[in-house]
Every structure is written in structure tokens, then in C-alpha cells.
Amino acid sequence: MSFFTTIYQQIKRKLFGSKAPTTKEQISKISTISISFPESKISILDVSKQKQQDTQKTETIPTTSTVKNTYPSGYILETNAFFHFEDYTEILECANQIKNKLIDKPIYVLSKTKDEYVGKRCPKNRNELIRDNGYTGKKRDFNKTLKQLAESLGTDIHYVDVTNMSEIKELAKKSNQNLKDFGLHDADSIFLAFTKLTKSILITCDKDLIRCCNLAQCEKPIEFQGFIEKIIQPSPITVVLRERRTYRKNLRTQKINLTKKRRRNPWVKTMKIVRNSRRYK
């Protein structure tokens, strides 16, 4: 009330001195007079403007660091494809042609690939590679292969440690539960999760993983063997797989022939009869 009384006293002094307004003309003069508000009251209007500015500042919240924001879409080399660069020198030699077939995007290698290198060995020779019954050659060297591949491609390869990424672990666990019946396992679920979150393209030889990526609606994966077939004809992977099928076919034929010979041998039959008789005693 004291604020309005001071205004009224100012009007009264300017117009009438100590006399109060009585006629309609005197009262109408009041509406035309400019009133000077005390300076202490102007800050009240400024406070409301300041509040609006403060609210505008608080609305601009900085974005949190996520896998999607940190890593742009690119290409992810799965473990088997990474192994092939070490096992087949022909593929490593044509790395420049591989690079030309890919769009200019970053290439990622996940820490899961490095984990799978532990305790693994290279094939001792070509025959061991064809037989595929366990390799006894030199120990696999992840860092050396990574360096050679980067030099051959002529571009940087980004190593990503996914060990402590909660987003990757959560999506991998969920994907593993949903796609377990389609051949997805724990290691492959990490690659699928990173591919999904970054909207990247997975490069792999694993057909089960390719199927799971398609079911999870990831970007269309690149089947490594078919991809190399377009660059080198025939692909060294295809040649080894053909020789492996021939080797296993011959091995099965040898086993069948051996069992037939044993059945024809009467000495083998008598030994079986003796063993069976002892078993039932």
C-alpha cells in the first residue's frame, strides 16, 4: 500500500498542491501525467527477465557420451576374418584392392578379437590348414597382425576396448537370449551389439552370425569369403575349403574300406566274439 500512496501523493502535489481533485477536468488530468517510479522497484521487472534467461540456459543440457555418439558407423572386422589376414598371405597382399571396394569409413577391431587370440596358434603348413584339426605352428600375434593390416590397407584401424561398455553388454545379453537358438553365442553377441549400436557393417565368415545380424535388423553384413572372391578368383579361402572337403571325403572312404576289410577277416570276428563273451560273464 505504501508504494501506491507515494504515487498518489506525487500526482496530488503536481496538480493541486495540497488540494484534492474535485471536478471531472481535474481527475482527467491524472491519466495524462507521466509517473516516475522509484528506481528500487525497476529491479522487480528485471528479475523476471533474468529468470527467463536462466531457464533458457538450463534447457541446453549437454549430450551424454554413448557408443553411438562416440563411434561413427564403419566396418567391423570379426575374429575369423581377422585370422584370415594372418593365415592367407595372398589376402594381405591384395589389401589395397580390398580398401578400394569399401566406402571411406573407419575400420574397427574389437578387444574381443584380441581376447580370442590368447592361446591360439597359426597353421604349421598348408596341409595342417587343410586338415583343420588344430594348429601347431607359431603363436598368433595380435599386435603384429594389426600393424601389418593397417600398413597394407594404408589406413588407420581403430582398436575399441568394449570390456567396460555397459551398453554393449546389456544389448549383447539381450541378443544372446533372443537369438541363441539361431547359433548366437557370447563372443558373437558382442560383435552384434556393437554393430547394432553404431549402425556399422560387420565383416565376417560366420554364417550363423550373419543370419543373427539380419534377424536383429543390423546393417547388411559382408560375407568375407564371397567378398574376397570378387577380388581374387578363385579366392584362397575357397581353394582351401575345396581341398578340405576332398580330404575329408577321402578320409571317410578310407574308414569305410577299412571297416569292410575287418568284417571280412575271420580273426577279427573271433576276437569280437571272445570280447563279447567276457563282457557278459
Mean pLDDT of the region 51-59? 45
Cα atoms found within 13 Å of the Cα of residue 35, Cβ hemisphere only: 16
Q: Which of 13-22, 140-149, 211-220 has the lowest mean pLDDT?
A: 13-22
Strands (E), the chain: 75-77, 107-110, 157-160, 201-204, 222-223
How far is it, in rounded angstroms, from Cα 225 to Cα 223? 6
Residue 161 lies inside a defined structural domain of this protein: yes
Confidence (pLDDT) at 26: 52
Residue 224 lies inside a defined structural domain of this protein: yes
Residue 213 lies inside a defined structural domain of this protein: yes
Share of the chain above pLDDT 90, in %: 54
Q: Which residue has the cell 546389456?
A: 170
Contact status, residue 76 vs residue 195, Cβ threshold 8 Å: yes
pLDDT tens-digit profile of 156-215?
899 999 999 999 999 999 999 999 999 998 889 999 999 999 999 999 999 999 999 999
Residue 222: give its domain's CATH number. 3.40.50.1010
Stated pTM of the model? 0.69
Neighbour tally for 52: CB within 10 Å:
10
| Confidence band of 273 (pLDDT split at 50, 70, 90) | very low
Number of domains in the chain: 1
Residue 10 has pLDDT above 80, yes or no: no
Instruction: Round the average pLDDT of the chain to a whole number and report it.
Output: 79
Residue 108 has pLDDT above 90, yes or no: yes
Cα distances from 150 to residues 29, 69, 92, 248, in angstroms, run: 88, 24, 10, 36
Confidence (pLDDT) at 18: 52
Of 157, 137, 141, 161, nearest to 149 (Cα)? 157
- DSSP-assigned beta bridge partners for residue 230: none
Contact status, residue 202 vs residue 221, Cβ threshold 8 Å: yes
Residue 132 lies inside a defined structural domain of this protein: yes
Confidence (pLDDT) at 196: 94
Q: Which of 21-25, 89-93, 131-135, 171-175 has the lowest mean pLDDT?
A: 21-25
How far is it, in rounded angstroms, from Cα 38 to Cα 248? 101
In whole angstroms, how large is the CA radius of gyration of the chain?
Answer: 40
Residue range of the domain that includes 117: 70-236
How far is it, in rounded angstroms, from Cα 6 to Cα 185? 83
Helix %, strand %, coil % of the chain (to 5): 65, 5, 30
Residue 44 has pLDDT above 80, yes or no: no
Residue 41 lies inside a defined structural domain of this protein: no
Confidence (pLDDT) at 5: 58
How far is it, in rounded angstroms, from Cα 96 to Cα 99? 5
How far is it, in rounded angstroms, from Cα 243 to Cα 180? 32
Neighbour tally for 259: CB within 10 Å:
10
If DSSP codes are grouped into helix, strand and coil, which group holds residue 71?
A: coil
Confidence (pLDDT) at 19: 52
Any idea what DSSP says for residue 219?
S
Query: Who has greater pLDDT, 271 or 145?
Result: 145
Residue 45 has pLDDT above 80, yes or no: no
How far is it, in rounded angstroms, from Cα 199 to Cα 24? 79
Confidence (pLDDT) at 47: 39
Residue 135 lies inside a defined structural domain of this protein: yes
Residue 176 lies inside a defined structural domain of this protein: yes
Residue 40 lies inside a defined structural domain of this protein: no
